[in-house]
Amino acid sequence: MNYFDLTETEAYRKLCAYQKEKPELKKLLTPEAVKKYIAPAGKELWFSYAGKGITPELLELCQSLASEQECIAKYKDLLAGGIANKGENRAVMHHLCRSAEGLPTSGKSASNAAFYEKEKKSFYEFADKVRSGAVKSSTGKLFDTVVQVGIGGSGLGPKALYQGLYNYCQADRVTPVLKAYFISNIDPDEPLSVLSEINPETTLFILVTKSGTTLETLSNYAFVKEIIHKRCPAVTLEKQTVTVTAINSPLDDKEQFLAVFHIDDYVGGRFSASSACAGVLVSLAFGPDIFSRFLEGAHYSDILALNERAVENASLMDAILDVIDVNIRHIPVEAVIPYSAALAPFVRHLQQLYMESNGKPAPYATCPVIFESVGTDCQHSFFQQLHQGKVEMPVEFIGFKHSQLGCDIQYKGSSSQNKLNANLAAQITAFALGRSSTDLNKSFPGGRATSLLYGERLTPETLGSLFAHFENKVMFQGFLWNINSYDQEGVMLGKELAKAALDMDNNDSPILQSYYSFF
């Protein structure tokens, strides 16, 4: 396979020339275009991209760019266990946590898929025992609460998954539903706040760190242990703790902890929602069937992402259109806005997924700065800037026909869900068409790009497809930009300096010492 910088491709040069002559969005966005430019994105999930201003010529150039950068061939190589994370000389196998069925695996990747299946079976069996009451707390009480202690992908993804499915499980009468809390921030106020909400005698803790040495996570667990020992000395915390860690890490100790479940180096933190990192918590909180359905939706999207035709491959088309915004239209920002309150933690997870994966050194801009919020709240905050500010910010919307809980009222001729979706449709239309006025304050330029992921209802399958769609979009963008989406060296420098600041007697940075002296 060839590895070219984006700007070395013939398709890039043609796209730059096309952009100079491209018709304006106001002329291209017709009812026919809205109906035509749609691709399946997952289980009951579709991608509408007419709001990007599409022409047949543009689609040909998008296909040429995908082919020239060998996006599908590189995806297949990744699935077969190729070294996709070249910075750390590792394969990338989070797709295989969902399922290997229908994917072009090799002996190596199939072996890892079997390992993930084994671990999944193990934490499914454990979750069933906890939920049935066969496994109890160290004081003999039934568990009714779960607390996950982990940082980065060990917190953001699992929290997004839990919050995204909580209302669905309430509405569909999944029982029991265990309440979940999350501790990730090293700020001592966070664990104290969580501990004030729970009963230690009925709470199961999940300690997540692949290396078993993550300083923030271990510090938070030590904090929790000390406070619980003071407040509730009858609790033996380790016997109410399961760990999710690598084989042979310091936390891989079934004698010390209630249970241990494994992850490996081939599943990166921000891509780990399909693994035990989120699977243990979701299986405990809602049951293994709910997590299995989430994986089914994710796998469905992984299969769709193998399509060579960009117009039928939602994650690939989404990736290419964003690259055009960044590198040809020179727009350094993007917003991702779900019109579903349940997805508020999900878009915070996406911020990490995008920016930690693709905010990498290159001869050109790569990942845009990601703004995230939930509609309709953001219409009353930063949307003013999006509509009338000088700098355009493309928006990717997410919306659903039906709410999760299904409870609604009629007020002034429409339901709340109708009003929510009317606002979503209105925003897309306003961004594209704008409004002319002799009063500058009431004039909207329009011509501002949007895309939309939409479905019937936010279900476990749909949420799985959303996770996979964006993971695969980020992957394809990495191929297009010729960067490594799977390491995070930019995170490491700050960690190293933080350790140095704590060792004031031995660090030799006067600037670091000066700032830390404030505290």
Mean of the per-residue pLDDT values of the chain: 96
Q: Per-residue pLDDT tens for 357-411?
A: 999 999 999 999 999 999 999 999 999 999 999 989 999 999 999 999 999 999 9
pLDDT at 505 > cutoff 80: no
CB hemisphere CA count around 85 (13 angstroms): 17
Model confidence band, residue 483 (pLDDT cutoffs 50, 70, 90)? very high
The average pLDDT across 421-448 equals 96
Q: Mapping DSSP to helix (H, G, I), strand (E, B) and coil, where does residue 116 land?
A: helix
Helix, strand or coil for residue 132? helix
Q: Around 154, how many Cα atoms within 13 Å sit in the side-chain half-sphere?
A: 23
For 325, how many CA atoms within 13 A lie in the half-sphere containing its CB?
30
pLDDT band at 249 (very low <50, low <70, confident <90, very high): very high
Question: Quick one: tokens of 139?
Answer: 């004081």
Beta-strand relationship, 241-246 and 259-263: parallel
DSSP letter (8 states) at residue 291: H
Per cent of the chain over pLDDT 90 is 95
| Boundaries of every domain in the chain | 6-82+297-481, 121-289, 488-519
Please tell me the CATH superfamily of domain 6-82+297-481, with its number.
Answer: Glucose-6-phosphate isomerase like protein; domain 1 (3.40.50.10490)
Residues 309 and 469: their CA atoms lie apart, in Å, by 16
**pLDDT-based confidence at residue 492 (cuts at 50, 70, 90):** confident
Euclidean distance between CA atoms 380 and 165, whole angstroms:
26
Per-residue pLDDT at 92: 97
| Mean pLDDT in residue range 175-195 | 97
Buried b / exposed e across 479-517, counting CB within 10 Å, b at 16+?
bbbbbbbbbbeeeeeeeebeebbeeeeeeeeeeeeeebe
Residues annotated catalytic, as ranges: 356, 380, 495
What global pTM score does this model have?
A: 0.97
Question: What does residue 180 show for φ and ψ, rounded to 5 degrees?
Answer: -125, 145
**What is the per-residue pLDDT for 495?**
86
- Residue by residue, DSSP assigns 297-364 as HHHHHHHHTT-S-GGG-HHHHHHHHHHHHHHTS---EEEEEES-GGGHHHHHHHHHHHHHHH----SS
For residue 97, give Cα distances in angstroms to 127, 275, 378: 18, 6, 35
Check residue 55 and give its pLDDT.
98
Average pLDDT over residues 67-95: 96
Q: How confident is the model at residue 117 (pLDDT cuts 50, 70, 90)?
A: very high
**pLDDT of residue 434 exceeding 80:** yes
Fill in the amino acid letter for 239: K
Q: Tell me the two tokens of residue 417.
A: 């869900």
CA distance from start to end of the chain: 52
Closest CA relative to residue 480, chosen from 63, 109, 79, 17:
63
Average pLDDT estimate for 515-519 = 92
pLDDT at residue number 507: 79
Report the pLDDT value the prediction gives residue 270, as an integer from 0 to 100.
Answer: 97
Rounded mean pLDDT, 253-264: 97
pLDDT confidence band for 506 (50 / 70 / 90) = confident
**The listed CATH number (3.40.50.300, 3.40.50.10490, 1.10.3720.10, 3.30.360.10) that belongs to domain 121-289:** 3.40.50.10490
Torsion of CA 72, 74, 79, 84, to 10 degrees: -150
- Sorting pLDDT into bands at 50, 70 and 90, what band is 236? very high
- Residues 514, 492: Cα–Cα separation, whole Å: 21
**How many whole angstroms separate alpha carbon 166 and alpha carbon 171?**
9
